[in-house]
Amino acid sequence: MKALHKFSDEYLERCKKLSIEERLEFIENYQRMHNDVSSQTKSISLRIQDPLLIAFKQKAKLEGVAYQTQIKKLMKNWVN
């Protein structure tokens, strides 16, 4: 069973401001993400406060998962 997604009124209002092309691009990327279609990866640069990064890495290590994998997992969950 798939989860039911609920969106805030504020989020839906922001979505209304997207162009048709932006909406289509989002839907296509969302579908690719869920269909596990192989796609290229991109390297990104992200500035994070040291204490947060250290704590995140430590928690990931305790959970037995690579911290970058956990970041990607969090990103995927947030998009869903």
Q: What is the pLDDT of residue 42?
A: 84
Q: Both tokens of residue 71?
A: 């970041």
* Tokens describing residue 9: 């009124």
Residue-wise pLDDT tens digits, 5-49: 677 888 888 888 888 888 888 888 777 776 765 667 889 999 999
Confidence check: pLDDT of 56 > 90: yes
